[in-house]
A and B are shown apart, each in its own frame.
Chain A
């Protein structure tokens, strides 16, 4: 395509002084706060000591990475991060789509408004608050145990936070509770832009409500779902730090620790900056591979993509 835009003239550039000065500020700020920490990746190949600095510390090559991948704890931490990341992704995605579709089927405008307003309230509460009230609900005197005992499903209250097999589902539930309504906003917006003629045609073909959801609404949401999926796949390794940190305890350590918590334990508490950095690099690299991989697959299958 021919570009009709005129070439930028010297006269114009002279007039862009204000823009240039501001741009210079933003570049310097960006270098300091986003690009300088990248240079810190060197630490992963050193035996970094704060007193020797980045230039004086002993160079050790891949030793830190070798240690990481021979460390049983780190391998378990990778498993936990991936498992919880995928579980959260699937659970929050499915719930948001189901919720959006069902809410859209409500004909009572007032009721719809109330439900939606309530639904995204938890998104604005901090994880501290969410884990706190979750802890109340699941405690030995909490509502869940009360109901379980009352209906005779259990004879005595369960200590949910002491049993490793409950931990991942609790984390997934916490994410669903907090984000379903919020994530549904995008789908609800996408549903309103579906051509009403499609529904009319479906009605003429004898489709009922389920038929219309299955053959019109869901296929129309597919591009939105794909874009959001790609955007979120890169975040799978991020999908777990605050909840795990706040709800984790000695009894469930084997399933609750994630890469970020590992980094925190080694890097901050044990002062092994190099090992912490190496774990962080591993996470960043995997995230980038995931996001480009998902994008590539989407491109291959002819779907919408991010770039």
Chain B
């Protein structure tokens, strides 16, 4: 009996290890394969059969990518929108969260409801586009950072955290005559660093990875398109080449781009996230857990 259960136990452990190993391989292989392709000669790569290591080593793909003006401009815009967008979002979301976490604030519940509604209903693609046009936000950089600045979801995460802080600190500050602005900047904010970090990272990753807004609002302006959008143009030209046609006829780029150049552009686009990943991942995880305990 006991023997039997230890056998099933062993079978379970072996199956589990196999499953998880397979999982890791399937997750990592495509990324490592892209790295290998990006360092391989373009003509040689057409033969296929490149796995984890380049067959004919070459740096020319990276040279091609880094010599393209639109990729450089795209990278600058992407960095700018990530930095400015994250700062703006952090300040405004934190301030709004602070206001709705004040238990004695007169319009506390009304203001909360006003923002929670925005989580469930929105105008949709077309009315939003027309609004941005009439506000002159299209064909400009600001469309990336102003409209999506406040997210009710992030405000909820921050509010939950702030409500969990002890009251005593701010009460004593109140007695010392501190006003709301001082309490927010000097007392609450330093204590909220972990949740600020989490929200900032969510926003930053979202900004860096976003491409659809560039296509919808700034397609005509090469000086405002982002790195991800430029990468998408390379991707659809690769698809055209491999015979699987293009995506909805959306790109202007008809020039044929080798798979290896696209691989190099992919790595360039991925690099900031890969480099920061080991340092930042604990904040991501804590953010997910904060988000899940909220009611």
Which A residues form the contact surface with B (CB < 8 A)? 5, 8, 12-13, 15-16, 18-20, 22-23, 26-27, 29-30, 32-34, 36-41, 43, 50, 99, 102-103, 105-106, 111, 114-115, 117-122, 124-129, 131-137, 139-143, 146, 159, 161-162, 177, 180-182, 185-186, 189-190, 208-210, 224, 234, 242, 245-251, 260-261, 263-265, 267-268, 273, 276-277, 280-281, 283-284, 287-288, 291
**A132 and B231 contact, CB distance less than 8 A:** yes
Docked-complex contact A263 and B150, CB < 8 angstroms: no
B243 and A103 contact, CB distance less than 8 A = no
Q: Which B residues are CB-close (under 8 A) to A50? A: 130
Contact A129 B269 (CB under 8 A): yes
Q: A121 vs B159: C-alpha distance in the bound complex, in angstroms?
A: 28
- Shortest distance from the beta carbon of B133 to any chain A beta carbon, whole Å: 9
B118: CB under 8 A from chain A?
yes
Closest to B281 in A: A117
The verdict on A261 contacting B248 (CB below 8 Å), with A12-B104, A128-B231, A141-B47 known, is yes
Say yes or no: B48 contacts A141, CB within 8 Å. yes
A209 → chain B closest CB, angstroms = 5
21 sampled A-B residue pairs with Cβ under 8 A: A16-B104, A26-B96, A32-B131, A32-B135, A40-B131, A117-B281, A124-B209, A124-B273, A128-B235, A132-B238, A136-B259, A137-B29, A137-B33, A146-B48, A186-B289, A224-B292, A249-B245, A261-B248, A268-B126, A268-B129, A287-B120
Assess A37 versus B127: contact at CB under 8 Å? Given A19-B99, A186-B288: yes
- Whether B127 and A247, one on each chain, are in contact in the complex, defined by CB atoms closer than 8 angstroms, is no
Partner of B180, one of A16, A124, A242: A16
B292 A161 Cβ-Cβ under 8 A: no
Note all chain B residues with C-beta closer than 8 A to A40.
Answer: 123-124, 126-128, 130-131
* Contact across chains for A208 and B122 when beta carbons are under 8 A apart: no
Nearest B residue to A125 via CB reads B270
- For A281, what are the chain B residues with a Cβ–Cβ distance below 8 Å? 124
Q: Is B283 an interface residue (CB 8 A)?
A: no
Distance in Å from the Cβ of B179 to the closest Cβ of chain A?
6
The answer to whether A29 touches B150 (Cβ under 8 A) is yes
9 A-B pairs besides A41-B127, A162-B243 with CB distance below 8 A are A121-B277, A124-B284, A132-B262, A135-B238, A142-B48, A177-B27, A264-B125, A265-B248, A276-B125
Interfacial chain B residues near A283, Cβ < 8 Å: 124
| B242 / chain A contacts, CB cutoff of 8 Å | 135, 139-140
The stretch among B16-24, B53-61, B164-172 that forms the contact with chain A is: B16-24
Asked if B51 and A143 make an inter-chain contact with CB atoms under 8 angstroms apart, the answer reads yes
* Cβ-defined contact, A118 with B127, below 8 A: no
Secondary structure of the B side of the interface? helix
Query: In the complex, are the beta carbons of A268 and B216 less than 8 A apart?
Result: yes
Residues of A within 8 A of B270 (CB): 125, 129
Task: Spot the interface stretch: B4-12, B65-73, B186-194.
Answer: B4-12
User: In the docked arrangement, what's the CA distance between A25 and B30, Å?
Assistant: 46
Shortest CB distance B139–A (Å): 15
Q: A106-B20, A135-B238, A136-B259 are in contact. Are A277 and B231 (CB under 8 A)?
A: no
Give the interface of B toward A (CB within 8 A): 5, 8-9, 12, 16, 19-20, 23-24, 26-31, 33-34, 37, 46-49, 51, 92, 95-96, 99, 102-107, 111, 114-115, 117-118, 120-131, 135, 147, 149-150, 179-181, 205, 208-212, 216, 228, 231-232, 235-236, 238-239, 242-248, 250, 259, 262-263, 266, 269-270, 273, 277-278, 281, 284-285, 288-289, 292
A115 and B20: CB pair below 8 A?
yes
Chain A residues in 8 Å Cβ range of B48: 140-142, 146
Contact A277-B180, Cβ < 8 Å, known A34-B118, A159-B244: no
Taking a contact as CB atoms under 8 Å apart, the answer to whether A120 and B284 are in contact is yes
- Can you name the residue of chain B whose Cβ is closest to the Cβ of A124? B273
**Minimal beta-carbon separation of B283 from chain A (angstroms):** 12
Q: How far is the CB of A284 from chain B (nearest CB, A)?
A: 6
Bound complex: CA of A184 vs CA of B277, how far in Å? 18
CA distance A110 to B287 in the complex (A): 22
Chain B residue at minimal CB-CB distance from A192: B289
Contacts of B95 in A (CB 8 A): 22, 26
Q: In whole Å, how far is A5's beta carbon from the nearest beta carbon of chain B?
A: 7
| Cα separation A120 to B187 with both chains bound (whole Å) | 34
A159: which B residues are within 8 A, CB to CB? Answer: 243-244
Tell whether A249 pairs with B292 under 8 Å between CB atoms, given A43-B126, A120-B284, A121-B277. Answer: no
Contact B235 A246 (CB under 8 A): yes
**Which residues from chain B contact A133 at a C-beta distance below 8 Å?**
30-31, 33-34, 266
9 closest A-B pairs by CB = A37-B123, A40-B127, A141-B48, A280-B124, A126-B209, A249-B245, A161-B244, A133-B30, A37-B127
Neighbouring B residues of A37 by C-beta, 8 Å: 122-124, 127-128, 131
Assembly CA distance A34 to B16 (angstroms):
47
Contacts of A141 in B (CB 8 A): 46-49
Q: How far is the CA of A224 from the CA of B102 in the complex (A)?
A: 29
Question: Which A residues touch B278, using CB under 8 A?
Answer: 117
Task: Name the B residues within 8 Å of A261 (CB-CB).
Answer: 248
The residue that B247 contacts in the complex, of A134, A247, A267, with Cβ under 8 A, is A247
A291–B236 alpha-carbon span in the complex (Å): 36
Contacting pair B120 A291 (CB below 8 A):
yes
In the complex where A189-B289, A189-B292, A249-B246 touch, is A18 in contact with B181 (Cβ < 8 A)? yes
Chain A residues, Cβ within 8 Å of B102: 16, 19
- Verify B180–A19 contact, CB threshold 8 A: yes
Once the chains bind, are B244 and A102 in contact (CB under 8 Å)?
no
